[in-house]
Homo-oligomer: A and B are copies of this chain.
């Protein structure tokens, strides 16, 4: 027993106590105020950390252990409730600093809109950035009932910024007709319904390029991720999602950052969604951070 230093409480398992020495930084973006259906993803990051104590530190998939990677858990960004613009600005500034310090950003949402300022900041550093996007939804709206700051818009925003041919969406099974048509017209890649097989085809084409990976947990079937805002039948299994991440891990692309968003614990009594999310974070740490 020693009481001579601050109790280091709710952090992702095995996170490093020192920011400077860490390669990667885990951070939460507890924002859910623009969602059009069920809110609650603001509690995603805290719950993912809490259940991470149930994780083994070793991945039999990658044959690596958490102690092989130094990552710092910086806690949640204190986003102002109900103010999307200020939240987005804070996130962008936060990522700017992480990138200035040459850290790998590993974010946890929160609603998917939080990925927009992250990707924007990444693009400032990596002008040839590509996006790999796993999701049930296109997220290609310009606005949601008049609001341009909406959880239905982040992929459209980044596609407009970096060029739609640099965005690759997988697992999409929901969206407006206009969104699918737009993607087709401008040459943005959308793999409907499936992730793993089309991903295997795309990855070689991105060899050597810096890639940001953004995963909406609802790419999983509701059976595998009931704890999210919008549950949509016909998704992939957690086994397929893990395999897809491992496929990226062994590819020739450079992964320069990643996030996992839309975990909303209140809708999942068994907490399987948060547990699955914490396992995905572990596999990202072990499989992707060294690929920067």
Contact = CB atoms under 8 A, between A and B. Distances in A.
Interface residues of A, number: 94
Nearest to A41: B39
B147 A82 contact: yes
Given A8-B9, A180-B60, A266-B40, A80 B172 contact: no
Contact of A270 (B19, B175, B226, B279): B226
A271 B17 CA distance: 31
A258 interface: no
- In the complex, the count of this chain's copies comes to 6
Contacts of A275: 222, 231-233
B82 A175 contact: no
A208 to B, nearest CB: 30
Given A19-B4, A176-B56, A231-B272, A221 B237 contact: yes
Given A81-B34, A271-B267, A276 B11 contact: no
B1 A97 contact: yes
Contact of A7 (B8, B32, B80, B81): B8
A267 B270 contact: yes
A145 B221 contact: no
State the main secondary structure of chain A at its contact with B: loop
A75 B33 CA distance: 22
B222 A82 contact: no
Nearest to A192: B60
B271 A231 contact: yes
A196 interface: no
Nearest to A83: B147
Nearest to A103: B3
A221 B238 contact: yes
A254 interface: no
Nearest to A43: B38
Contacts of A89: none
Contacts of A69: none
Given A38-B54, A266-B266, 20 more contacts: A6-B18, A7-B75, A8-B17, A33-B33, A33-B39, A33-B82, A34-B81, A36-B81, A39-B40, A46-B50, A58-B180, A60-B173, A80-B145, A82-B84, A193-B239, A222-B224, A222-B276, A233-B239, A233-B279, A267-B271
- Lowest 10 A-B CB distances belong to which pairs? A10-B10, A226-B270, A34-B82, A9-B10, A9-B9, A3-B19, A222-B272, A33-B33, A233-B238, A39-B39
